[in-house]
Amino acid sequence: MNNDSNVVVSLSPDACTTSVVDGERVAAVRQVMPADEVVQDLADVFSLLSDPGRLRLMAALLEGGEMCVCDLAAATGQSMSAASHALRLLRTHRVVKVRRSGRMAYYQLADSHVRMLFDLALAHIGHSEERGDG
Amino acid sequence: MNNDSNVVVSLSPDACTTSVVDGERVAAVRQVMPADEVVQDLADVFSLLSDPGRLRLMAALLEGGEMCVCDLAAATGQSMSAASHALRLLRTHRVVKVRRSGRMAYYQLADSHVRMLFDLALAHIGHSEERGDG
DNA sequence: ACAACGTTTGAATCATTGTTCATATATCGG
DNA sequence: CCGATATATGAACAATGATTCAAACGTTGT
Instruction: Delineate the domains of chain A, giving CATH numbers in brackets.
Output: 51-125 (1.10.10.10)
Q: Which of A57-61, A83-87, B128-132 has the lowest mean pLDDT?
A: B128-132
The distance of A109 to chain B (nearest Cα, Å) reads 13
The distance of A88 to chain B (nearest Cα, Å) reads 18
Please measure the distance between the N-terminal and C-terminal CA atoms of chain A and give it in whole angstroms. Answer: 53
> Which residue, A62, A28, A119, is CA-closest to B116?
A119
Is B97 or B4 the better-scoring residue by pLDDT?
Answer: B97
Percent of chain A with pLDDT over 70: 80
User: Residue B129 carries which DSSP code?
Assistant: P
Edge-to-edge strand list for the sheet holding B104-109: B66-68, B104-109, B96-101
Q: Cα separation of A80 and A109, whole Å?
A: 18
What is the residue-averaged pLDDT of chain B? Answer: 83
Q: Cβ contacts of residue A28 below 8 Å, gap of 6+?
A: B63, B64
Nearest neighbour of B40 by CB, restricted to A36, A52, A74 = A52
Contact at 8 Å (CB) between B72 and B87? Answer: yes
Q: Cα separation of A120 and A130, whole Å?
A: 12
- At residue A64, the 3 state secondary structure works out as helix
Q: Cα separation of A126 and A80, whole Å?
A: 32
Does ipTM top 0.90?
Answer: no
**CA B27 to the chain's CA centroid:** 28
Q: What is the pLDDT of residue B112?
A: 82
Tell me the C-alpha to C-alpha distance, in Å, between residue B84 and each of A53, A113, B35, B64, B89: 30, 32, 33, 17, 9
Q: What is the pLDDT of residue A13?
A: 36
- A 11-50 near B (Cβ less than 8 A): 11-12, 14-16, 18-22, 25-26, 28-34, 36, 38-50
